[in-house]
């Protein structure tokens, strides 16, 4: 009785864990959405996009006037003696306002603004590329999990089929219509299927953990896939255009950035022109001394200085001679443009090759499904015939077991072909930049 209470207490203690698991019924689209929401990689790149946008705004501000204010207060002891006068600066002040407007900076301001804009576009393309990578990883995990679950169901069906055969063989042995060796063979086959089933269940749990990790959900969550692996009969010709790829956009932006870098380098050795306007106030500066009023009479006087003045200044800076430094730096920058263009051309061909391979794999995947489905239909018909013949005593147990094994293998091939088709489709969409559309 005491042991029953202990068992009941343990069951109640475990109940929150058993029933507290989250169950998620998910489509492939749900999986992608949750993976993107939980991805730290995507979140980091989203922050990078915001930073690049701020850099672009800062670059746009560089062409606007720069306004500066200045204020100074002084209290100085002792007083200064200047040409026989006593200068008192106790509470003197100076204040000013200055506006500086760059008029021409050798094209560096325009180039800098364009570079900042390119930087923002690069960050956005990098974000798009990271999003597609995260989606591809999540979809791979999703369809792999679907395939392993289908394998588990297949082994369950195979196990049920073998249980029926074991029961029939046991009855036949008792009736003297089968031998003990037949019963041992069926039992051994049943144990083999149980082993396969356990391996499939363990594999399904590992795939579930991988999918939980991809989506950022708790590892104890139970996931029930909703989608079924299938293929489209009317997919049409598969595109291989890679112009929409973020990788291509990034390489193009690298070329554009190199061109702007040439202008920046050239701007270091071109004249610059700037206009500065200022207005200053000063006051509370007292000067004390003696003034000759005639007849040798000196009269003390005190005056307070308080005034304001404006100023306008145009500054022009012209580089004259740098021993050919500018020409060499500009040439180096132009060589970088050529190198970036060559990198774009080379990688474009490689990415086109990847797209063609992905499209070819997808076509092959469709053919594999048709072949596997044909073989499965034949295996099902063969099993039906063999089962009828075995029931009528016209075929051996060996023939029946072989037909059952072929039936299992054919169904397993269909599962693998359907799943591989989904993976090929993900790779093709990723290769042409259409994943997530």
The pLDDT of residue 232 is 57
d(Cα 248, Cα 342) in Å, to the nearest integer? 13
Lowest mean pLDDT among 17-26, 248-257, 330-339: 17-26
Secondary element (H or E) of residue 83: none
Does residue 305 lie in a domain region? no
* Mean pLDDT across 414-421: 95
Q: What's the total number of domains in the chain?
A: 1
Does residue 419 lie in a domain region? yes
Does residue 313 lie in a domain region? no
pLDDT higher than 50, residue 8: no
The pLDDT of residue 121 is 96
Helix axis angle for 397-431 and 325-391, nearest 10°, is 160
The pLDDT of residue 3 is 45
The pLDDT of residue 297 is 79
SS3 content of the chain, % helix, strand, coil (to 5): 65, 20, 15
In eight-state DSSP terms, residue 436 is: T
Vertex 139: Cα angle to 136 and 144 (nearest 5): 125
Secondary element (H or E) of residue 91: strand 90-104
The pLDDT of residue 9 is 41
Residues of the chain with pLDDT > 70, as a percent, come to 93
* Mean pLDDT across 164-190: 89
pLDDT higher than 80, residue 23: yes
- pLDDT grade, residue 116 (50/70/90)? very high
pLDDT higher than 80, residue 321: yes
Helices (H), 84-178: 108-174
Which has more confidence, 33 or 300? Answer: 33
Alpha-carbon distance values, 183 to 12, 168, 177, 288, 368 (Å): 43, 10, 11, 129, 37
* Mean pLDDT across 413-423: 95
Does residue 252 lie in a domain region? yes
pLDDT, tens only, 206-241:
999 999 999 999 999 999 999 887 765 555 568 889
Q: What is the CATH number of the domain that holds 219?
A: 1.20.1600.10
pLDDT higher than 90, residue 152: yes
Does residue 226 lie in a domain region? yes
Residue found by looking up tokens 């002040």 in the block: 93
Q: What is the CA radius of gyration of the chain?
A: 42
Q: Which residues contact 45 (CB under 8 A, 6 or more apart)?
A: 123, 126, 127, 130
- pTM confidence score: 0.82
Does residue 290 lie in a domain region? no
The pLDDT of residue 298 is 78
The pLDDT of residue 12 is 34
Q: What is the mean pLDDT of the chain?
A: 88
| Distance in angstroms between the alpha carbons of the first and the last residue of the chain | 63
Does residue 198 lie in a domain region? yes
pLDDT, tens only, 235-290:
556 888 999 999 999 999 999 999 999 999 998 888 999 999 999 998 888 888 87
Task: Give the domain extent around 160.
Answer: 19-63+106-269+325-431
Does residue 300 lie in a domain region? no
- pLDDT grade, residue 127 (50/70/90)? very high
The pLDDT of residue 5 is 40
φ/ψ of 68, rounded to 5, equals: -130, 140
């Amino acid at each position: 009785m005491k042991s029953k209470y202990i068992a009941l207490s343990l069951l109640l203690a475990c109940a929150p864990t058993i029933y507290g698991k989250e169950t998620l019924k998910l489509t492939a689209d749900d999986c992608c959405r949750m993976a993107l929401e939980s991805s730290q990689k995507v979140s980091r790149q989203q922050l990078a996009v915001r930073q690049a946008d701020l850099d672009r705004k800062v670059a746009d501000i560089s062409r606007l006037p720069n306004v500066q204010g200045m204020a100074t207060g002084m209290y100085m002891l002792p007083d200064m003696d200047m040409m026989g006068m006593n200068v008192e600066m106790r509470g003197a002040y100076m204040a000013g306002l200055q506006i500086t407007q760059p008029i021409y900076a050798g094209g560096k301001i325009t180039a800098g603004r364009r570079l900042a804009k390119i930087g923002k576009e690069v960050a956005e393309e990098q974000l798009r590329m990271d999003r597609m990578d995260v989606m591809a990883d999540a979809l791979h995990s999703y369809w792999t999990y679907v395939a392993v679950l289908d394998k588990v169901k297949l082994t369950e069906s195979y196990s049920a089929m073998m249980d029926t055969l074991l029961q029939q063989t046991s009855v036949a042995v008792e009736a003297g219509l089968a031998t003990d060796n037949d019963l041992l063979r069926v039992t051994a086959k049943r144990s083999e299927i149980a082993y396969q089933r356990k391996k499939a269940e363990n594999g399904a749990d590992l795939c579930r953990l991988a999918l939980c990790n991809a989506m950022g959900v708790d590892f104890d969550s139970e996931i029930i896939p909703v989608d079924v692996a299938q293929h489209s009969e009317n997919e049409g010709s598969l595109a291989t255009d890679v112009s929409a790829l973020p990788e291509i956009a990034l390489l193009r932006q690298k070329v554009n950035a190199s061109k702007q870098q040439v202008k920046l380098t050239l701007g270091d050795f071109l004249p610059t022109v700037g206009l500065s306007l200022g207005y200053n106030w000063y006051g509370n500066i007292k000067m004390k001394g003696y003034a000759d009023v005639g007849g040798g009479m000196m009269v003390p006087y005190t005056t307070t200085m308080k005034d304001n003045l404006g100023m306008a200044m145009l500054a022009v800076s012209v580089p004259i001679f740098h021993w050919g430094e500018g020409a060499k730096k500009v040439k180096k920058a132009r060589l970088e443009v050529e190198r970036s263009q060559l990198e774009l051309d080379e990688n474009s061909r490689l990415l086109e090759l990847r797209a063609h391979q992905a499209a070819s794999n997808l076509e092959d995947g469709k053919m594999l499904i048709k072949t596997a489905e044909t073989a499965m239909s034949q295996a099902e018909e063969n099993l039906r015939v063999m089962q009828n013949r075995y029931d009528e005593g016209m075929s051996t147990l060996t023939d029946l077991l072989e037909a059952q094994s072929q039936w299992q293998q054919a169904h397993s091939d269909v599962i693998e072909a359907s799943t591989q088709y989904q993976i090929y489709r993900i790779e093709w969409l990723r290769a042409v930049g259409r994943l997530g559309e």
